[in-house]
Amino acid sequence: MTDKKKVAEIAPAKGKLGVLLVGLGAVSTTFIAGVEAIKRGLAEPIGSLTQMSTIRLGKRTDNRSPLIKDFVPLASLEDIVFGAWDIFPDSAYDAAMTAGVLEKELLAQLKPQLQKIKPMKAVFDQHYVKRLNGTNVKEGKNNMELAEQLIAEIAEWKRKNKCARLVMVWAASTEIFMKTHAVHKTLKSFEQAMRDNHKAIAPSMVYAYAALKSGIPFANGAPNLTVDVPALLELALQNGVPVCGKDFKTGQTWMKTILAPGLKARMLGLNGWYSTNILGNRDGEVLDDPESFKTKEESKLSVLEYILQPEVYPSLYKDFSHVVRINYYPPRGDNKEGWDNIDIFGWLGYPMQIKIDFLCRDSILAAPLVLDLALFLDLAQRVGMKGIQEWLSFYFKSPMTAPNLYPEHDIFIQLMKLKNTLRHLRGEDLITHLGLEYYD
């Protein structure tokens, strides 16, 4: 018998879990429709760790590999209720039809449920998303007043929908590139900046503030700064709320964080990595604006540097060229095509090339991540975990970390970290893969 560690106390997942989505676009509607389809037995939750993945416990010879959802108490899909905000008033059904990700036949079967989900009025300012303009928008004299409207609206929504707990996920458009500003330093200066309508407070921050003030966990699916500022992290700790972000790791970057650790594992060098995409959905249109693209570009560029560690391996990875492009190309809709040309070198410096042509579906890849994040954040909240949830780095292109800590991008390390966190919560031995005991 191995010594069992202390088991964390986890409040049971009793009652309904409200998942509040900021943005009711392609990702959100594909997520909602998917959960509704799965609940009706029309589909399987493919791509979701919380629903499909097992977790090995103990020794390899123990044969203990329960499903994650049986190992930790997660909310069941039956208990999820959806709420959303958007600048367009379309219901989830109409928005899903516009997004064009899912087949009309499937949406028709889910129409009654999807039609009931009508977006609440958004906090929006076109300064932060240049390519969009909608009418379903809140009015208020400053950002603090808008946050107060959100807080009251959330409380009312929770009551009306008889939810026991809530989580919030940002799945709205990518805002313009912003850096941490002096007003983000403390909660006090942040709140003053909200009252002053300071430009350093983006709409996404108003939602995050309202969530944290209401004690609601917050995940950021886009690369915007949003909750990744000291003031809001201070609020998260103060109110005991877990947060995570940024930018769902779905297509090209997911691929990068699989391949780059492989190159490094074999000590193969890299001269350059050229990535380009064609994308025709609304996200592609928003990212066609240079200021929104800059936010995305920063997020996509950082992964290789961190994984390959050029400062540790200068002869292999110093000064490689890394280019990322996104081209808005309407005919493709949500069906993105991502090309990668990777110039590598091996023994005696001989060059080789790897080409990837990934014909993916953006929202099909993103939807299960939204589900997992909602369920894991709710779990974290019930365990009493607060602030940045680094164990959820697995889901993000730019994982949030403690100050002065570099993010872990290698997807295999991220997965190990996630599963070891779950083992830790349940007092199970962490898996180190040392395995000497099998040969004693």
Ligand X SMILES: NC(=O)c1ccc[n+]([C@@H]2O[C@H](COP(=O)([O-])OP(=O)(O)OC[C@H]3O[C@@H](n4cnc5c(N)ncnc54)[C@H](O)[C@@H]3O)[C@@H](O)[C@H]2O)c1
* Binding region for ligand X (CB under 6 A): 22-28, 85-88, 99, 122-124, 129, 132, 134, 171-174, 203, 221-222, 247-248, 250-251, 281-283, 286, 362-363, 365-366
Do 254 and 248 touch, CB atoms closer than 8 A? no
Angle made by CA atoms 34, 38, 40, in degrees to the nearest 5: 120
- Please report how close the Cβ of residue 222 comes to ligand X at its closest, in angstroms: 3
Do 73 and 13 touch, CB atoms closer than 8 A? yes
Q: Which is nearer to ligand X, 57 or 222 (CB)?
A: 222
- Please report how close the Cβ of residue 66 comes to ligand X at its closest, in angstroms: 30
Instruction: Give the pairing type, strands 351-359 and 337-345.
Output: antiparallel
- Please report how close the Cβ of residue 360 comes to ligand X at its closest, in angstroms: 8
What is the distance between the alpha carbons of residues 213 and 241, in angstroms, rounded to a whole number? 9
- Please report how close the Cβ of residue 217 comes to ligand X at its closest, in angstroms: 18
Q: Which is nearer to ligand X, 210 or 286 (CB)?
A: 286
Q: Which is nearer to ligand X, 250 or 423 (CB)?
A: 250
Q: Which is nearer to ligand X, 68 or 123 (CB)?
A: 123
- Tell me the CA distances in angstroms from 1 to 59, 62, 138, 428, one per residue in order: 11, 11, 59, 11
**Residue of this chain nearest to ligand X (CB atom):** 25
- Please report how close the Cβ of residue 432 comes to ligand X at its closest, in angstroms: 32
State the virtual CA torsion across 98, 103, 109, 110 in degrees, nearest 10.
-50
Residue 350: φ, ψ to 5°:
-70, 130
Q: Which is nearer to ligand X, 124 or 273 (CB)?
A: 124
Calculate helix-pair angle for 290-308, 252-265, nearest 10 degrees.
20
Q: Which is nearer to ligand X, 27 or 324 (CB)?
A: 27
Structural element, H or E, at residue 12: none
Q: How many Cβ atoms sit within 10 Å of the Cβ of residue 300?
A: 24
- Tell me the CA distances in angstroms from 281 to 273, 286, 365, one per residue in order: 25, 9, 14
Q: Which is nearer to ligand X, 131 or 426 (CB)?
A: 131
Do 93 and 24 touch, CB atoms closer than 8 A? no
- Please report how close the Cβ of residue 88 comes to ligand X at its closest, in angstroms: 5
Using alpha carbons, select from 33, 6, 382, 399 the residue that is nearest to residue 223.
399
Q: How many Cβ atoms sit within 10 Å of the Cβ of residue 158?
A: 20
Q: Which is nearer to ligand X, 29 or 389 (CB)?
A: 29
- Please report how close the Cβ of residue 344 comes to ligand X at its closest, in angstroms: 26
- Please report how close the Cβ of residue 358 comes to ligand X at its closest, in angstroms: 12
Q: How many Cβ atoms sit within 10 Å of the Cβ of residue 179?
A: 9
